[in-house]
Amino acid sequence: MTSSQVTEAPEEGYERGLGSRQVQMIAIGGAIGVGLFLGAGANIAKAGPSLILMYALAGGVIFFIMRALGELLLYRPVSGSFAEYSREFLGPFFGYFTGWTYWLMWVVTGMAELTAAAIYVHYWFPSVPQWVTALVFLLVLFVANLISVKLFGEIEFWFSMVKVTALIGMIVIGLGVLTFGFSAAGDTASVSNLWQFDGFFPKGIGSSLMTLQGVMFAYLAVELVGVTAGESANPEKTLPKAINTLPWRIALFYVGALTVILCVVKWTEFAEGVSPFVKAFAVIGIPAGAGIVNFVVLTAALSSCNSGMYSTGRMLRTLADNGEAPKAFSRLSATRTPALGITVSVAFMGIGVVLNYIVPEKAFGYVTSVATAAGIWTWLMILISHVRYRREVVAGRLPASSFPAPGGSVCSWIAIAFLIFVTGLIAYGADSRVCLYVMAGWAVALGIGWLVLRSRTPGLTDPSEPELEKVV
């Protein structure tokens, strides 16, 4: 078998309505989130300029993860891919666990993003109750996801356009300040700001490494391209292109933007709870800069919530197709969307709007840390599945993918070690380790659910076999 062999995408009943333009922007949007626009402020205060290196390091690992996923996607492109590959290469339990955990990740992220979006609107309209704004956003995005995948893709395209345009604008303006010295920041802006104030690692390497957990949260959702595989019009062309452009997106939007900001504004001026972009616009003296950034961050939150509705519905349908969720979730609506799965997921996200009144602010941070832990599990499953797949290809038992990861499984092993290291950092932090307790409780609950399923459906534990007759 040659590397040109690919497995045809199974016909899952979805409308293949996502074109190249939309898949590209979904990939770009997945790499730019609230974690960058807001979370970077606290991390700059903890690590100083060395945060740039942490984003670059984590970005390299993310690329390894996405190339591993890309090889699997071109071997067998399916919606709900992470759970499907876990099921095929690690066993039914891991498919079940990964599918439900990815669903949890997006539900809790949706809760957080809806609340955040309401807070951003409150900046302009303080008299409007936050729960009203959150409810309106919830309903609008819910209806859009029910109508068609094309509408979802179009909304995500324009959300991503806003984020990309804002970041490029920030970089261009910052470079202008550095080069020509205009604006209020012109006298103090300098590349030497990266090392002039207590060095590149002002708080020590240990403090810099502790920011990796927050950095990884900023990269959550980059794997969403894998969920779009079942609805991409031409996955063999669009998916490799989307994945291969990831390094320059990380270099430009994360490393580039932070480097420019930290050259224009001294790192000592940043603090937790303040967006570094808002701060930079304020120092430069751009009129309405805070309002502009507030609008951009609003689109980032709504984009994340929109993606959450999309992916949770698809993941519930994948679980239902494998007997691991109620069968009703497997039905598609007249518009070929998993309407019931989206509806139930949105209902859980709506609980987050209600809980916003009674959950203290610190617990809001716990929600995002739970999402990070769930995301790390998903990434680990992608990597381990890839290692197992490569083993099968080398043994000649499975066809080679048309999009092989560079270095075979070596880069996957490096990424696995890195994710285990980050998990150790999460366990070391007093606040962040709470999410590991939550995940332990979640694992127990899923374990009990699995035992119940196995007792009711004995054949459920049989490992699935890849459909080799579709190899062409």
Cα→Cα distances 37→40, 273, 323, 351, Å = 7, 11, 40, 25
In a domain, 470, yes or no: no
Q: What is the pLDDT at residue 231?
A: 60
Contact status, residue 169 vs residue 387, Cβ threshold 8 Å: no
Note whether residue 444 is domain-resident: yes
Q: Would you say the C-alpha torsion 322, 327, 329, 335 has a positive or negative sign?
A: positive
> Nearest CA to 92 among 322, 287, 346, 339?
322
pLDDT tens string 432-472: 788 899 899 999 999 999 999 888 877 666 555 544 333 33
Rounded Cα gap, residues 123 and 20, in angstroms: 36
pLDDT confidence band for 385 (50 / 70 / 90): very high
Averaged pLDDT for residues 365-392: 89
Residues 134 and 119: their CA atoms lie apart, in Å, by 9
Output the pLDDT for position 112: 77
Query: Distance between CA atoms of 301 and 303, rounded to whole angstroms?
Result: 5
pTM: 0.85
pLDDT at 1: 39
Residue 74 lies in a domain: yes
| pLDDT of residue 378 exceeding 70 | yes
In a domain, 438, yes or no: yes
pLDDT number for residue 315: 83
Query: Domain for residue 344, yes or no?
Result: yes
With b for 16 or more beta-carbon neighbours within 10 A and e for fewer, the 200-227 pattern comes to: bbbbeeeebbbbbbbbbbbbbbbbbbbb
C-alpha span between 403 and 69 (Å, rounded)? 10
What phi and psi, each to the nearest 5 degrees, are found at residue 340?
A: -65, -40
Rounded CA-CA distance 346/134 in Å is: 12
Residue 46 lies in a domain: yes
- Assess if residue 377 is contained within a domain: yes
Pick the closest to residue 177 from 84, 283, 336, 273 (CA basis). 283
The C-alpha angle with vertex 368 and arms to 95 and 231, in degrees rounded to 5, equals 45
The beta-strand segments (E) located in 5-133 are: none
341 in a domain, yes or no? yes
pLDDT digits (tens, 9 = 90+) for 134-184: 889 999 989 888 887 777 778 888 888 888 888 888 899 899 989 888 777
Mean pLDDT of the chain: 82
DSSP tag of 50: G
- In this prediction, residue 380 carries a pLDDT of 96
Give the Cα separation of 215 and 146 in Å (integer). Answer: 33
User: Which residues form the domain of 392?
Assistant: 20-460
pLDDT tens-place string over residues 98-109: 999 999 988 888
DSSP state of 405: P
What the block records as the tokens of 226 is 């894998």
> Which of 435, 26, 450 is closest to 235 using CA atoms?
26
- Banded model confidence at residue 396, pLDDT cuts 50, 70, 90: very high
Taking residues 408-432, report their average pLDDT: 92
Closest CA to 67 of 222, 280, 281, 289: 222
Q: Is the pLDDT of residue 419 over 90?
A: yes
Q: Is the pLDDT of residue 213 over 60?
A: yes
- Token couple for 33: 């989130």
CATH code, 238: 1.20.1740.10
Q: How many domains does the chain have?
A: 1
| 3 state DSSP class of 18 | strand
| Percent of the chain residues past pLDDT 90, beyond the cut | 30
